[in-house]
């Protein structure tokens, strides 16, 4: 009977040992899975942060960051709107950066602080023809720095809102004092281009006849037919 009892206990011990081995195997698998998940999360987080800032850096033009650092008072940059077009690497079209700023003071005061800030930032006044392209009201100046050109236009704000569906968005007040109160401050436009894409940096066509050669279309005399030759009788 003792031998039979020992034989019966042996399978039970084997079963218990097998169950413990299986439990240990499952625990090891769970630990490996947990470690793998932690490693994956760490890799994603460590890669996502630089990727986020990298995309942000590529999408944010450094020229705008430079304009943000101009030493102008708060009243001269009450509201700022940026717009960008073209390619930073000049694929098909070079990049054009445009900034519109609302100032709380007059165009004269605003133009002065912006011109002083540009000089402090290393921009040099650029005396060039076609600055501006056509006559405009207000102060229009051109600047150059390194590989960039900058157009600065400071003028009075637009007092009457643009029409919407043929009607003005806001009916102008007939009271002159009210109109004067609403129409204050000034509007600033900044346009920055790559110098290689600015046509004004290239040689301008000359109209000197000595440079163009002979006129292929000479001026016709006042009497294009001249004197008629009498026909023989």
> What confidence score (pLDDT) does residue 58 get?
45
> pTM of the entire structure?
0.58
pLDDT at 12 over 60: yes
Residue 103 backbone phi and psi in degrees, to 5 = -110, 150
User: What average pLDDT does the segment 167-184 reach?
Assistant: 53
| Range 196-214 burial, b when 16+ CB lie within 10 A, else e | eebebeeeeeeeeeeeeee
Burial class, 110, CB count within 10 angstroms (exposed 0-12 / middle 13-18 / buried 19+):
buried
pLDDT tens column, 180-197: 446 789 999 999 999 998
Q: How confident is the model at residue 218 (pLDDT cuts 50, 70, 90)?
A: very low
Task: Identify how many contiguous H helices and E strands the chain contains and give both numbers.
Answer: 5, 8
pLDDT at 56 over 50: no
| Better pLDDT: 181 or 201 | 201
pLDDT at 227 over 50: no
| Better pLDDT: 25 or 100 | 100
Phi-psi region of 5 (alpha: psi -120 to 50; beta: other; left: phi over 0): alpha
């Amino acid at each position: 009977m003792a031998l039979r009892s020992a034989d019966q206990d042996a399978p039970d011990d084997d079963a218990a040992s097998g169950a413990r081995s299986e439990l240990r195997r499952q625990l090891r698998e769970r630990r490996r899975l947990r470690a793998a998940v932690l490693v994956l999360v760490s890799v994603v987080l460590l890669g996502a942060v630089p990727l986020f800032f990298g995309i942000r850096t590529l999408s944010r033009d450094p020229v705008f960051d430079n304009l943000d650092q101009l030493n102008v008072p708060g009243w001269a940059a009450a509201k700022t709107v940026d717009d960008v077009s073209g390619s930073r690497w000049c694929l098909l079209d070079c990049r054009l950066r445009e900034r519109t700023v609302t100032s709380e003071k007059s165009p004269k005061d605003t133009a002065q602080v912006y011109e002083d800030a540009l000089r402090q930032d290393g921009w040099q006044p650029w005396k060039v023809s076609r600055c501006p392209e056509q006559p405009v009201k207000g102060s229009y100046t051109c600047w150059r720095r390194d590989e960039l050109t900058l157009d600065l236009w400071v003028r009075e704000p637009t007092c009457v809102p643009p029409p919407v569906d043929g009607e003005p968005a806001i009916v102008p007040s007939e009271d002159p004092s009210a109109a004067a109160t609403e129409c204050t401050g000034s509007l600033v436009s900044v346009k920055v281009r790559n110098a290689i894409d600015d046509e004004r940096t290239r040689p301008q066509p000359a109209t000197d006849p000595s440079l163009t050669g002979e006129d292929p279309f000479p001026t016709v005399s006042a009497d294009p037919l001249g004197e008629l030759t009498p026909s023989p009788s």
